[in-house]
């Protein structure tokens, strides 16, 4: 009986090299993307998410140029002053 290897993502039978894991680059990419979504977010992802939220909040208040907003209003919407860029 011949041991047939199957693609780790889609399950198709693999042809070619004996150490092949995925049938093509799309399956490889899809597998790793799906795996990254299932895992817990990395520190970088948490920081990036907070920075995006901060920018979105500030942009919503600053439509015409300079504006003044109370810190409590920003904090209530999820703004975090601990995260900033230079």
Q: Where are the domains of the chain?
A: 1-39, 43-76
The label of the residue with tokens 């290897």 reads 5
Of 36, 19, 25, 18, nearest to 9 (Cα)? 25
Task: Report yes or no on whether pTM surpasses 0.75.
Answer: no
Rounded to an integer, what distance in angstroms lies between the CA atom of residue 8 and that of residue 28? 8
Give the pLDDT confidence of 18-71 residue by residue, as tens digits.
Answer: 899 999 999 999 999 999 888 888 898 899 999 999 999 999 999 888 889 999
Rounded to an integer, what distance in angstroms lies between the CA atom of residue 34 and that of residue 39? 9
């Amino acid at each position: 009986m011949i041991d047939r290897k199957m693609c780790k993502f889609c399950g198709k039978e693999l042809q070619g090299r004996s150490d092949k894991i995925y049938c093509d680059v799309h399956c490889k990419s899809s597998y790793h993307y799906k795996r990254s979504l299932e895992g817990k977010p990395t520190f970088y992802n948490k920081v990036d998410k907070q920075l995006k939220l901060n920018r979105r909040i500030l942009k919503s208040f600053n439509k015409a140029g300079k504006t003044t907003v109370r810190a409590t209003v920003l904090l209530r919407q999820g703004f975090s002053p601990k995260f900033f860029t230079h």
